[in-house]
Chains A and B, each alone.
Chain A
Amino acid sequence: SQTIHQWPATLVQPVGSPLSLECTVEGTSNPNLYWYRQAAGRGLQLLFYSVGIGQISSEVPQNLSASRPQDRQFILSSKKLLLSDSGFYLCAWSITPNTEAFFGQGTRLTVV
């Protein structure tokens, strides 16, 4: 069966520090991968999605970037965090671009 791993679960970072969140999927090949952010009391905002290695679409221009160095690995990065980057970051995968997505456990990021 397929599983998704996302870490760390919680993170407290100072303003201006870099960020790297990692997500890996097991048990499937060439998954569709997503990064979402959920600010407190808000809905899920699509940040990036990828249909394959080297194919990453950015949904909203911002202080973040994403990379997919391997088929089942998706990384969210920032060079300098802002206070507004705080939130609940969620990685998700789907078998095809048109089917349901399954979420990791999320990373709660607090920028101080």
Chain B
Amino acid sequence: QKEVEQNSGPLSVPEGAIASLNCTYSDRGSQSFFWYRQYSGKSPELIMSIYSNGDKEDGRFTAQLNKASQYVSLLIRDSQPSDSATYLCAVNKGRGSTLGRLYFGRGTQLTVWP
């Protein structure tokens, strides 16, 4: 079982729509969760961090965490063509011998068309 799994893409939405990206993780003891955006040929850049159950909003982005279901999601409202990129979910186990191990999903490619 993979540490972090993301819903298979690619995902294509029209400009102005809501894009929904999902992620599940295997270790119930995981402590911290992140979403990164990666443009083609570039390194990942951090979009959101979330550490506790519930929603966290930052501008057009909302991250949602449900530890009981081991599920993390990212909603992008009012999607723009500039949001077209690969979105990576990352999970940090954060305890014991696995402290510090940050695992990534394979990513979901999002295309926002005008």
Contact of B94 among A59, A98, A106 (CB under 8 A): A98
How many chain B residues touch A (Cβ–Cβ < 8 Å)?
22
Complex CA–CA separation, A31 to B1 (angstroms): 30
Q: A6 — nearest CB in chain B belongs to which residue?
A: B43
B46 near A100 with CB under 8 A, answer yes
- Of the residues A42, A94, A99, A103, contact of B44 by C-beta under 8 Å: A103
Closest to B3 in A: A46
Total number of A residues with any Cβ neighbor in B under 8 Å: 24
Main SS of chain A's interface residues? strand
Contact A104 B102, beta carbon cutoff 8 Å:
no
Q: How far is the CA of A28 from the CA of B88 in the complex (A)?
A: 26
Chain B residues with a Cβ under 8 A of chain A = 31-32, 34, 42-46, 49, 88, 90, 92, 94, 99-107
